[in-house]
Structure 1
């Protein structure tokens, strides 16, 4: 059944406006087939226990999102879901009790929807088989598989329980990296690693072909390589045009921050700036270069916004020295001697000279005060309470990668104890998700009544995948921050 939503509106103008709709992808069987010898090729640091990740961790995420975004799908059902033998599959599209929300939208559902069209199915199957080097007979076989099953195959790589025909795409759980909503546009990514090529292909077909995005097809922006890029020498990452959603933050209606990191190149950031300015999507873009290290990967592993005047960040990267003599976005960050330094440059339409910031803190304070008109002092909550070695340990397990459901209400992992202490010291209520769901179900607390709260999510397996809830969300609609 094709998901139609006449009410779906694309609009994201901040990181903290009340979340109304988002794209997610719940853990699929492919995550349970990652082997140690291929884990790093598939961008995983470790192997995970799939059933634990589903039943004891991600399941809470889906339930919480539904209470906040689409309570009619969950209110009054919690006990039944929790005591059902098959509750582990409550959030999977092929399950009889799938929640089927048009606000908490499962990517696999959208993929199955577009595969109902025979022409699209044959084109997408041919494209997948081309990049996965499948033979022609297998391609013909896939064309005859039902859309629901074919969607599972394209994502998991398995044609049945025992037979894998190509690699899984376990990183699809990190839905933010396939694209980012900026106002009423979507900027598609251009991944740095081959392991994510199929994700991008599937996302492109969904966004350009699914009816819920029909009104916005002219607002889908694709990063392209510069003309004659194939003539450039060398294979160095810095020479490629790459951009991933974890390096793009919409901090106000007219301002986007783009990170240059292990996964987003200078060229990718440069092409994104041109696209955003040429299409008049925003008036201001800040390029933030962080060290090219696996520890950081994207800027949202280093900082995220908690509320209008509050950010969580890694203290060891909070300060940086800048070279202010360079003027151009390519040459500014092109000096390889500066590769492990943090640099921040802001470009604005109509201004010939870019603006620089001495530190990440200075930039984030400027966002809070000047972009979001905060009247309160800007507060910084530090990973590990800014204490070594807990700052680095907890940043590695995504203490800085939080998802705001509304201004001041955020999700984070329960394992980052020192960061939790820092939240308490800054006046935040701390609550475990299991306790919170019971309060929602009983009616003793309502989501819209919550303020200044860190919701702790179980994380023994999810944290092994090296991504937090900011990574596991692609917001499509947020309320404006007034």
Structure 2
């Protein structure tokens, strides 16, 4: 199949292509001693995590119905690194993003590595000379590397030092892999003094996006993304949601995701527990300026800009169950098409609330038994339960582990 043009104007339009990363050797390098520095609360068993991840990607391939439905980040990086210019650029990007690691002392040695050796260094931090680098286990969460809006790509500037090397990798892929050649004039790169991660951006429609101002996306980052989208794309409203700056809700999509066009699964203490924290930015009368309105709530803001009623489904029935379910990504669902979503099996209270709203709950393995390639149920509201006992230890759900590139 020829390369599909990037296109995302909805969180729930039928999926055509998605970027993922299967947990690799880098995940096995997370230890009790380095897990905090690598931003992990727990240690994942890599083989089990890979098996769980493979079920998820099998779902995507089966339901989308073509081999090119799932792209693997590791493959794209290796293919990009076949070009010497890409390897040199990656090393330069890395030096600039993490100056505290003093990679410039080995700049020529790193740039002289062949594609496979540089790939291994980039993912695991291991090299044939004594350069000190961390592995990148957070690459599992490809959502944070970038966000496609329309036919543009907003590239991340990670907030934490442990994740900044990931930004060098995704920039190299989009700037040098031949698959993305047609999109190079539509890359949005942000100043390094601000932070932005893709888990904080949700595409409501071809005219509206949400951006979380969170622990990982700074106010400057949110404003800069808004400015670029309003100036360069068809987006007319960027609604910035001010979130508590704590790890438990590090991105907007950890407390709020789409189930269909007007149904959302939410963590109520944050999404419904705060007021006057939604700032609607739109283009002003002069170039480079925008106007701002404050909405009383996200619910009210969405109903106004979408011009329809919306439904919030809580991830649990009471405050304790909601906290427990949000801890294991109850509100972090990924939509394959409107009303067909994937989440973790362990979030039983979330599924109970979804069932009350008309969703049929099925296990991933059972679903795969009854549906062939491209056999996508068109009308049923279905929540697919993905076994994620290991993956959930990483504190990211199916939306965190997916970066959609094309939706129909």
Asked if TM exceeds 0.5, the reply is yes
Which residue does the alignment assign to 2:85? Answer: 119
Deviation of 1:149 after TM superposition, in Å, equals 4.6
Give the whole-Å Cα distance in 1 for the aligned partners of 2:119 and 2:30: 19
Instruction: State the 1:37 CA deviation.
Output: 2.2
Alpha-carbon displacement from aligned partner over 1:166-207 (angstroms, at most 9, x marks no partner): 211111111111110000000111111011111001111110
**In the alignment, which residue of structure 1 is the partner of 2:31?**
35
Matched, 1:156 2:124: yes
Residue 353 of structure 1: CA displacement?
A: 5.0
Q: Quick check: 1:259 aligned with 2:212?
A: yes
- The residue aligned with 1:419 is 350
CA distance in 1, matches of 2:271, 2:111: 50
Instruction: Give the Cα separation in 1 of the matches to 2:92 and 2:210.
Output: 36
Kindly indicate whether residue 267 of structure 2 is the aligned counterpart of residue 345 of structure 1. Answer: no
Q: For structure 1, which runs of at least 5 residues remain unmatched after alignment?
A: 74-101, 226-239, 324-342
> Residue 6 of structure 1 contacts residue 212 of structure 1 at CA under 8 Å; is this kept in 2?
no
- CA deviation profile, 1:99-139 (whole Å, cap 9, x unmatched): xxx33111111111111112322343455467443476685
Displacement of 1:398 in angstroms is: 0.4
Go from structure 1 to structure 2 and tell me whether the alpha carbon gap of 1:310 and 1:200 turns closer, same or farther (over 3 Å shift).
Answer: same
Alignment of 1:49-64 (within 5 A): 49-55=45-51, 57-64=52-59
Q: Is 1:414–1:456's contact at 8 Å kept on the other side of the alignment?
A: yes
Offset of residue 165 of structure 1: 5.2
Partner of 1:268 in structure 2?
A: 221
> Aligned pair 1:406/2:337, yes or no?
yes
Q: Which residue pairs with 1:384 in the alignment?
A: 316
Q: Secondary structure at the match of 1:32?
A: helix
In 1, Cα distance between equivalents of 2:360 and 2:143: 27
Separation in 2, partners of 1:32, 1:164: 20
Spell out the pairing of 1:238-249 with structure 2 (5 A cutoff). 241-249=194-202
Q: Name the CA shift for 1:137/1:321 in 2 (closer, same or farther; >3 Å).
A: closer
Name the residue aligned to 1:437.
Answer: 368
Alignment match, 2:185: 218
Pairing partner for 1:109 from 55, 58, 75: 75
Task: Describe the shift of the 1:144–1:346 C-alpha distance in structure 2 as closer, same or farther (beyond 3 A).
Answer: closer
Partner secondary structure for residue 447 of structure 1: coil
Partners in 1 of 2:94 and 2:272 — Cα distance?
Answer: 44
Cα distance in structure 1, aligned partners of 2:22 and 2:366: 22
Tell me if 1:201 matches 2:168.
yes
The 8 Å contact of residues 410 and 454 in structure 1, kept in 2 or not, is answered as: yes
Shift of 1:224: 1.2
Q: What secondary structure sits across from 1:356 in the alignment?
A: strand
Inter-CA distance 219–384: structure 2 relative to 1 (3 Å threshold): same
* C-alpha distance 379-139 of structure 1, shift in aligned 2 (>3 A): same
Partner residue of 1:354?
292
Structure 2 spans left out of the alignment, 5+ residues: none
Residues 1:185 and 2:152 aligned together: yes
Aligned length: 400
For the 8 Å contact 2:9–2:204, the answer to whether it is kept is yes
Structure 1 residue 32 displacement after superposition? 1.2
Tell me if structure 2 keeps the 8 A contact 1:319–1:359: yes
Shift of 1:318: 3.2
Alpha-carbon spacing, 1:389–1:122, altered in 2? closer, same or farther (3 Å):
same
SS at structure 2 position matched to 1:205 = helix
Residue 278 of structure 1 and its aligned partner are, at CA, apart by: 2.3
Greater Rg over alpha carbons, structure? 1
State the shift of 1:458 in Å: 0.6
Alignment of 1:323-334 (within 5 A): none
1:250 equivalenced with 2:203 (yes/no) = yes
Cα RMSD after superposing both structures: 2.3
- Aligned in 2, Cα 1:458/1:271: closer, same or farther, shift over 3 Å? same
2:381 equivalent in structure 1: 452
8 Å Cα contact 1:301/1:401 also seen in 2: yes
- Map Cα deviations across residues 11-59 of structure 1 (whole Å, 9 max, x no partner): 100101001011111101111111122212111111111111112x111
Distance 1:195 1:252, change over 3 A: same
User: Which residue does the alignment assign to 2:4?
Assistant: 8
CA 1:129/1:15 → structure 2, altered by over 3 Å: closer, same or farther? same
Q: Please state how far the C-alpha of 1:68 moved relative to its aligned partner.
A: 1.8
Distance 1:472 1:321 in 2: 28
Q: What are the Cα deviations for residues 208-257 of structure 1, in whole angstroms up to 9, with x where unaligned?
A: 111111111110001115xxxxxxxxxxxxxx511110111111101111
CA–CA distance in structure 1, aligned partners of residues 241 and 199 of structure 2: 13
